[in-house]
Chains A and B, each alone.
Chain A
């Protein structure tokens, strides 16, 4: 008996899993990716004649909690209208009960891959500033992402930065499914819950003591299972980890201090908001003093010289030229 090739198997799986959306508005094409909660497909919106991305729950028999989470993600996307957040166009339900929603098709690459072609530190930091701006916007709207990592940040062909995967986001002031009336104590947390994912999509459970997020990228308080109690500083930690990855192993001291403050273990030692972090990066880029680093007099002088080096060089050139002309003229 002939065995099916891997390619043929993948094709068969693709065909059998391909969702059939009600009506004939959307034509589903290839699968773009698969996460913890759902699978994303490229589709054509026939009504508006444009390509879109359609996210469909992976399992028909998903629990109410999983359905609720996908629905909440769609609602969060609808609520966050910002150039750095993928807009949602449509939402619905398949015949087998699975939820789906259509959103803008993002043509880009994940941040970690995008920066491979961006070697200059200032250019990388400017990308990071756009990310901070989006996260700050979400915070102002009362939404904490809770799963910030390079894989969840897409960079478009024109340098646009989009924050993806709001599946484990928390809306401040709104109780989550499974959330206790009072925050669980640290002792009750079960950090070994195993619900966190390793580099892939984050878990979709919010039971007290359960870990939400991605190991290595989530804040310590989140890793300790206190997902319900986290505030915007958990995202500041995620931003700090991303910044750490962007600046390499030997960043300038002032930048290293910014990274260290952003990814401090205790929330109270971090920047209070994403915009405070962005302001320090902005100050670093413009050569002014950053709040995360107390510099000595010599360092301050060195920074000022570096910041105004062209003007200083021109002044020196003027003095040298004047002196030479003076000596030459006396001959």
Chain B
């Protein structure tokens, strides 16, 4: 499977799983869990797509990890800042940013490790 497509699928699945953990980690948000899962899926899809394109030619797993983390943080931090006013909790930022970063690492690593590398032009 090519890397952008694999990145999208991984982002969707991991985003869905990450979003659904809100059911356990934030019981007060259970009425909104579908919206959270949808938002997390969308974020995962975009992270996977951007990461998949960014690493489509690399052979370096480390680069995959770094790119995945940076892209995930680039999406996660603004979302965390936008929603910060709604939550008054010391662990809020950690709860949003850390899972996003590790999910990004996973997407970046797995995309390079298991995705088909794009051939250079003219090869």
Contacts and interface: CB of A to CB of B under 8 A. Distances in A.
A325 B94 contact: yes
A160 B84 CA distance: 58
Nearest to A329: B91
A318 B109 contact: no
Given A325-B94, A325-B95, A318 B106 contact: yes
B98 interface: yes
Band of interface residues on B: 10 to 19
B91 A328 contact: yes
B102 A310 contact: no
Contacts of A321: 98-99, 102
Interface in A284-331: 310-311, 314-315, 317-318, 321-322, 325-326, 328-329
Contacts of A318: 99, 102-103, 106
Contacts of A310: 61, 109, 113
Given A314-B105, A318-B106, A321-B102, A326 B113 contact: no
Band of interface residues on A: 10 to 19
Interface string B95-117: 10011001101100110010000
Given A310-B61, A314-B105, A326 B25 contact: yes
Interface in B62-91: 89, 91
A315 B106 contact: yes
Nearest to A307: B113
A323 to B, nearest CB: 9
A317 B25 contact: no
Residue of B94, B99, B102 most packed against chain A (CB within 10 A): B102
A329 B109 contact: no
Interface string B35-77: 0000000000000000000000000010000000000000000
20 contacts: A310-B61, A310-B113, A311-B109, A311-B110, A311-B113, A314-B102, A314-B109, A315-B106, A318-B99, A318-B103, A322-B21, A322-B99, A325-B25, A325-B94, A325-B99, A326-B24, A326-B25, A328-B91, A329-B26, A329-B95
Interface of B: 21, 24-26, 61, 89, 91, 94-95, 98-99, 102-103, 105-106, 109-110, 113
Interface of A: 310-311, 314-315, 317-318, 321-322, 325-326, 328-329
